[in-house]
Amino acid sequence: MALRCAPLSQEQCLKRWRRKTDDVVLVDRPGRGYGDDYTPWLVDAPVGELVHVRAAGITEEGILAAAALKTASSARSSPRATT
């Protein structure tokens, strides 16, 4: 039964990912991050950053981000150098 469900599950994930055009993503490891609904994103941003991303395409592993911009809250919480 599980073997029959896996392809259907993957198909449904890809279908849902195709509808996403942008998201706010927490980058949890190099090259990867997740939206608040656990949608996986392939993103070029520093680990630990909260970034706004725009979709460029879909892969078997997640949504490929075309751009990653720091969110305002992420920018405020970043450590700042003092002089």
Q: Where are the domains of the chain?
A: 2-74
pLDDT one digit per residue (tens) for the chain, 83 residues = 556 778 888 899 999 999 999 999 999 999 999 999 999 999 999 999 999 999 999 999 999 999 778 876 655 555 544 44
Q: How far is CA 17 from CA 3, 21, 63, 65, 76, in A?
A: 22, 8, 7, 12, 30
Pick the CATH number of 2-74 from 1.25.10, 2.40.50, 1.10.10, 1.10.150: 2.40.50
Say whether pTM exceeds 0.85.
no
Residue-level pLDDT at 82: 45
Q: What residue spans of the chain are helical by DSSP H?
A: 2-19, 72-77
Give me the pLDDT at residue 76, please. 53
